[in-house]
């Protein structure tokens, strides 16, 4: 007996209006998956010819994915606000719904040309449509999720307690394939862009140096390193088999506050990882406790297996 996403959502103890917002993001993800699958044939892997508010070159598929999300959410009467990596300003919808969505419509898009896993990340918050608060802490999120467009399209969801995985079937429906994901507490795998080592802060350098020393160093065990360069793919691996993901503050990104964005990358991933028993931190505080100051704000991101995140926290506490 399989459980469809619609059946699973109906069985959750959440408002039907909130469930409908998640269902809209699932429908958008299924449509994006279909576009990505055929993009090389349609010649759609190139640049769009403009830059987004972050100063990054937009790919055509960044724009297409953003438009698909916008289309699905505009059609949902429960959504009044959309914040997107690809849009300078928040979109105030015609609908006066009580929910806001923050999204990275296509995460890891630099991997599109090489057919490596990319994804869609989203966060759902409650708002008063007459005076919406766009700058709520991650701990206020009502739901979060991502779609990973890999060999299979996975949709990973949480309403804050428990993390579940769905897989897109041949008819365009998501089917429950794993309920109650548990991030292993201990792991010997870490993910960080080591080409940035000379820019890292001291705690990150000390942590990675210990991992590289493996069983001959203070960590006393051997480590392995993996870095896809798509946050969605790296976090999906960590949710499935443990590990730690680090994009710390470094001397090159310090003026911007970090590399990854708080509202639509760090917060939803932190909620998903914590709901699965993992931990998240900026090095100094829990990601979900960071007070946002702007919709495109960046933060340092460290999350994954509890034991590894605690080791990194200990290096920050000592520094």
Ligand X SMILES: O=P(O)(O)OC[C@H]1O[C@](O)(COP(=O)(O)O)[C@@H](O)[C@@H]1O
Give the residue numbers of the binding site for substrate. Answer: 107-110, 193
Distances (CA, A) of 318 to 155, 210, 257, 312: 38, 15, 21, 10
Helix (H, G, I), strand (E, B) or coil at 15: coil
Q: Which of residues 250-289 bind ligand X (CB under 6 A)?
A: none
Per partner kind, with CB cut-offs from 5 to 8 A, the member of Mg ion, ligand X, none near residue 193 is: ligand X
As measured in angstroms, the least distance from the Cβ of 296 to ligand X is 11
Whose Cβ is closer to Mg ion: residue 97's or residue 248's? 248
193 binds ligand X (CB under 6 A): yes
**CA pair distance 20, 223, nearest whole angstrom:** 42
Per partner kind, with CB cut-offs from 5 to 8 A, the member of ligand X, Mg ion, none near residue 184 is: none
104 binds Mg ion (CB under 5 A): yes
Per partner kind, with CB cut-offs from 5 to 8 A, the member of Mg ion, ligand X, none near residue 153 is: none
**CA pair distance 130, 142, nearest whole angstrom:** 19
Whose Cβ is closer to ligand X: residue 159's or residue 245's? 245
Between CA 47 and CA 50, with CA 48 as vertex, the angle to 5 degrees is: 110
- Continuous H helices in the chain: 5-11, 16-42, 60-74, 202-213, 231-241, 267-275, 306-318
Closest residue to ligand X in the complex (CB): 231
As measured in angstroms, the least distance from the Cβ of 164 to ligand X is 22
Instruction: Give the one residue of 22, 25, 107, 174 binding Mg ion; rule: CB under 5 A.
Output: 107
As measured in angstroms, the least distance from the Cβ of 234 to ligand X is 6
Per partner kind, with CB cut-offs from 5 to 8 A, the member of Mg ion, ligand X, none near residue 29 is: none
**CA pair distance 227, 236, nearest whole angstrom:** 12
Q: Which of residues 40-69 bind ligand X (CB under 6 A)?
A: 56
**CA pair distance 146, 28, nearest whole angstrom:** 11
117 binds ligand X (CB under 6 A): no
Whose Cβ is closer to ligand X: residue 110's or residue 115's? 110
Q: Beta strand 99-107 with 79-84: parallel, antiparallel or unpaired?
A: parallel
Quick one: which segment of 29-37, 71-79, 107-115, 248-256 binds ligand X (CB under 6 A)? Answer: 107-115
Burial of 2: CB neighbours in 10 Å, binned 0-12, 13-18, 19+: exposed
What DSSP letter does each residue of 220-270 carry, written as one string? -S--EE---S-HHHHHHHHHHH--EEEE--BTTTGGGT-SEEIIIIIHHHH
Per partner kind, with CB cut-offs from 5 to 8 A, the member of ligand X, Mg ion, none near residue 79 is: none
* 236 contacts 276 by C-beta, under 8 angstroms: no
Quick one: which segment of 6-14, 225-233, 267-275, 284-292 binds ligand X (CB under 6 A)? Answer: 225-233
123 binds ligand X (CB under 6 A): no
Positions touching ligand X (CB under 6 A) are 56, 85, 104, 107-110, 193, 229-231
């Amino acid at each position: 007996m399989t459980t469809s996403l619609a059946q699973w959502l109906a069985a959750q103890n959440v408002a039907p209006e909130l469930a409908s917002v998640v269902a809209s993001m699932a429908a958008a993800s299924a449509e994006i998956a279909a576009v990505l699958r055929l993009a090389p044939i349609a010649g759609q892997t190139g640049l769009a010819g403009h830059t987004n508010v972050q100063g990054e070159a937009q790919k055509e598929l960044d724009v297409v994915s953003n438009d698909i999300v916008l289309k699905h959410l505009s059609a949902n009467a429960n959504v009044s606000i959309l914040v997107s990596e690809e849009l300078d300003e928040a979109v105030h919808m015609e609908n006066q719904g009580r929910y806001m969505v923050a999204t990275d419509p296509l995460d890891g898009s630099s991997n599109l040309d090489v057919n490596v896993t990319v994804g869609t990340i989203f966060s759902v918050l409650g708002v008063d449509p007459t005076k919406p608060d766009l700058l709520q802490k991650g701990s206020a999120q009502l739901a979060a999720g991502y779609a990973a467009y890999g060999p299979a399209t996975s949709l990973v969801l949480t309403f804050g307690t428990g993390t579940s995985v769905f897989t897109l079937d041949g008819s365009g429906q998501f089917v429950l394939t794993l309920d109650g994901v548990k991030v292993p507490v201990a792991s010997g795998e870490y993910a960080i862009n080591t080409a940035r080592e000379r820019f890292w802060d001291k705690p990150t350098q000390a942590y990675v140096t210990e991992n590289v020393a493996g069983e001959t160093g203070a960590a006393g065990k051997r480590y392995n390193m993996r870095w896809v360069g798509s946050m969605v793919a790296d976090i999906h691996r960590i949710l499935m088999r443990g590990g730690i993901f680090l994009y710390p503050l470094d001397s090159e990104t310090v003026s911007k506050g970090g590399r990854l964005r708080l509202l639509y990358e760090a917060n939803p991933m932190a909620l998903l990882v914590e709901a699965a028993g993992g931990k998240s931190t900026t090095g100094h505080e829990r990601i979900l406790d960071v007070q946002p100051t702007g919709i495109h704000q960046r933060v340092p991101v460290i999350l994954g297996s509890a034991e590894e995140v605690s080791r990194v926290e200990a290096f920050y506490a000592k520094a």
